[in-house]
Structures are given as structure tokens and as C-alpha cells.
Amino acid sequence: MSRFVDWLQASALALGAPGLLLVAFLDSSFLSLPEINDLLLVWMVVEHKSRMVLYASSATLGSIAGCLVLYYLGRKGGDSTVRQRFSSARVDRAIALVQRYGVMAVLIPSLLPPPAPFKIFVLLAGVARISVWRFVFAIGLGRGIRYFGEGYLALRYGDQAIEFLRVHGRTITLAILGLLLAGLAAYLLWAKRRPQTADKRIKSVHLP
């Protein structure tokens, strides 16, 4: 496996943006290549700073495409497909999260660095038949934040961006998650109060 990974890295570096897209696709679908896509992105941006947007976009699109493969596998195969790949306990917990939070249960894991679980939520999004467009939006937003953020760090810190990510990556991710969760809490509070406000307006209209 290590020889294949070395060959894949070398090929991706030689191909540039298409290679980055391919690695992101494989990592998000059939293979598990933790951090390789992130490292390749940083290396490429350091070498060709003017192509940062191209590289970050390629990684994001490749990840979306790979996730769509798993999404449709989950949608077609259902619960049994997921339980063949993951333990029942993890599946049950993940199903509860997807049913409760919808696309947020996909968006948040898409931001987390390895070894945080991600693919199980992608599969279960298909099982739960979440709207494909909402699913694509969530993956695109999460991966876009991650890859464009790494591209920005590569522009600012150069080769040291990799070490910066290793030291501060978890803190940055937690800060972003905190903002997302705060936004989710605000939305849920607004959605809860909205029907009450609507009812009051209706009653006021019908009062003599």
C-alpha cells in the first residue's frame, strides 16, 4: 500500500490540478488517504502560488464527486450496505445524528481532520435520502472551507504551513465548528419561535 501511495503522490504532483482532483476523489470514495490530499495541496500552492484557487477548487470538486459515489451507494443499498462496512453501534449513533441534524451531520464531519469519522455520515445521508443538492452544498461548503483555508495558509506561511496545520489545525477546526454550531443553535431557536410569532399574528388579525 505504501508503494501505491508514493506512486499516487508522485503522479498527482506531476499532473497538478487533475492529480489533486483524482486523489481527493479516491480519498472521499473508495480509499482512505488521510492527510495526503492536504499535504499535496500545500506543496502545490507553495510551488505555484498563482494557482491556489485552481488547486483548492480541484480538491473540493474531487471530494464532492467522491462523496457523491458513497451517497448514491447508501441511497441504493440502504442500511445493510452501511452495516457491512461499520459496526452497528456506530451506525446507530450516526443515524440518530443524521435524522436529527440533517445536512449539518455531513457538513461538520467534512471539516474535521483525520481520524474523525466522515464516510459513514456520507453513506447515511444517502440512506436518509437527504436532498442531493443540499448534500452537495454541505460537502462543498465544508471541504471548500478546509481546502481554501489550507491554500491561504500555504500562501502566507509557505513550507511552514504544514507544521502550522499540525500544531494549530485542531484549534482552527474547533473554532470554525464553534461558529457553525452557534449558527445552528440560532437557527433552531429562530425556527422554534417562528410558528409562535405566526400564530400570534393570525390571532390578532381575527380579533374583533
pLDDT at 197: 53
pLDDT at 119: 86
pLDDT at 89: 76
pLDDT at 198: 45
Number of folded domains that form the chain: 1
pLDDT at 107: 84
- The answer to whether the beta carbons of residues 155 and 49 sit under 8 Å apart is yes
Each residue of 70-86: pLDDT tens digit?
999 888 876 776 777 77
Residue 176 lies in a domain: no
More confident residue, 157 or 113: 157
- The answer to whether the beta carbons of residues 96 and 125 sit under 8 Å apart is no
Residues 6 or more apart whose CB falls under 8 angstroms from that of 91 comprise 79, 82, 83, 120, 124
Grid coordinates given for 168 = 494549530
Residue 167 lies in a domain: no
Residues 6 or more apart whose CB falls under 8 angstroms from that of 18 comprise 58
Residue 133 lies in a domain: yes
pLDDT at 53: 96
Residue 8 pLDDT greater than 80, yes or no: yes
Each residue of 162-202: pLDDT tens digit?
777 767 666 766 776 676 667 666 766 776 776 555 445 54
Residue 207 lies in a domain: no
Q: Is 176 exposed, middle or buried (0-12, 13-18, 19+ CB in 10 A)?
A: middle
Residue 19 pLDDT greater than 80, yes or no: yes
Residue 134 lies in a domain: yes
Q: 112 vs 34, 107, 164, 173, CA distance in Å?
A: 11, 9, 16, 7
Residue 186 lies in a domain: no
Each residue of 106-150: pLDDT tens digit?
888 887 766 677 888 888 888 888 889 999 999 999 899 889 988
- Domain containing residue 61: 2-161
